[in-house]
Amino acid sequence: MNKSKNKNVQKQDLSKNQQIIFDLIKKSNEPLKAYSILSNVQKKGIKAPLQVYRALDKLVEIGKIHKIESKNAFMACQNSGCQIAKATAFSICENCEKVSEIKNSKLFEYLKGFDDKSGMKYKKYNLEFFGVCNECTAK
Amino acid sequence: MNKSKNKNVQKQDLSKNQQIIFDLIKKSNEPLKAYSILSNVQKKGIKAPLQVYRALDKLVEIGKIHKIESKNAFMACQNSGCQIAKATAFSICENCEKVSEIKNSKLFEYLKGFDDKSGMKYKKYNLEFFGVCNECTAK
DNA sequence: AACGTTATGTAATAATATAACATTAATTAG
DNA sequence: CTAATTAATGTTATATTATTACATAACGTT
């Protein structure tokens, strides 16, 4: 019974490795690096770097996680439904290393509509702001 | 004589290795990777990765070059006087891999003034746009 | 000249990421 | 349903990117 389980579910199912790795990243309050992920999932049977990188690639592709390029690290998407995987913005504290995904629809709209004179059609962007966060400034 | 040489020169002198590596990057019409730089300057006596990375670090720090984070590659600053090393924006063609530095004062002003509710003080940003360039679209 | 700072040289190794190949599971077309 | 196709997995080896550690030399100041 219950054959209809998941029938009309929009949310794309993740494969076993993808789910394990996504769960780990989601639980984390900081961006995780690939080899740190690896050492955390070895007890679950994921043994090789490539298994991690393949899952990461897929998760990035479907927008469940983002890569913080300046840190070679990955964090779960914080935006509703992960709809804006192709338009990412982060704030990074240079002191405590905290990274947050920026949710700002004006910024999003501005950059989405950005058009220079090159004639290039932009499909995607990634923006990383660096500074000192509130907590660190207070100290 | 000529003791006054460089006395009032604003332009900071580069060291030998820095100059060699900057010259190479400047001549290039595409971003260069560290080990590609290394193999290109070995004839000039730079033998080890660390020599390259040290020069690159310094050149990035003083704004003569920028790192394209998504490509782990370096290109010379295209903006006048390299004054905006802390505010960088690039357009990257996903087809031909061409990278250009974006010079757009409105974008620059917009991002410079960007302030979300986090209270974080931004000192620096890096923005990378991805798409398909004119030439590639035409094909 | 002595000092602090910046740059260099060299070897070793750490950290990040992919290639190549074999196999298995899931999806879909006939 | 079964063949065909696509997506995911497993495994080994290796490529690529970057840093640690330590020793020496050059430069700029006082």
**Is A10 a residue whose pLDDT tops 60?**
no
Do the domain assignments include residue B77? yes
Distance from residue A132 (CA) to nucleotide C24 (C1'), in Å? Answer: 49
Number of neighbouring beta carbons within 10 Å of residue A105: 9
* Distances, alpha carbon B75 to alpha carbons A112, B67, B89, in Å: 25, 7, 12
Tell me, yes or no, whether B4 lies in a domain: no
Is the pLDDT at B11 greater than 70? The verdict is no
Query: What backbone torsions phi and psi does residue B99 show, to the nearest 5 degrees?
Result: -120, 130
Let me know if residue B8 belongs to a domain: no
Residue B107, in any domain of the structure: yes
Q: How close is the nearest chain A Cα to the Cα of B40, in Å? A: 26
Residues of B with CB under 8 A from a CB of A: 69-70, 91, 93-94, 100, 102, 104, 107, 110-111, 114, 116, 118-134, 137
Per-residue pLDDT reduced to its tens digit, A90-139: 999 999 999 999 999 899 999 999 988 888 989 999 999 999 999 999 87
Is residue B10 in a domain?
A: no
Domain encompassing residue A71: 16-138
Q: Are B69 and B62 in contact, with CB atoms under 8 Å apart?
A: no
The one-character DSSP state at A37 is: H
Q: What CATH number is associated with residue B63?
A: 1.10.10.10
Is residue A128 in some structural domain? yes
In a domain, B81, yes or no: yes
Give the number of C-alpha atoms closer than 13 A to the C-alpha of residue B104, restricted to the C-beta side.
17
- What's the length of chain B? 139
Please tell me the total count of domains within chain B.
1
As a dihedral over the C-alpha atoms of residue B46, residue B50, residue B53, residue B55, rounded to 10 degrees, the angle is -50
Which residue in the block uniquely carries the two structure tokens 């990188």?
Answer: A53
Test B91 with A137 for CB contact under 8 angstroms: no
Residue B72 domain flag: yes
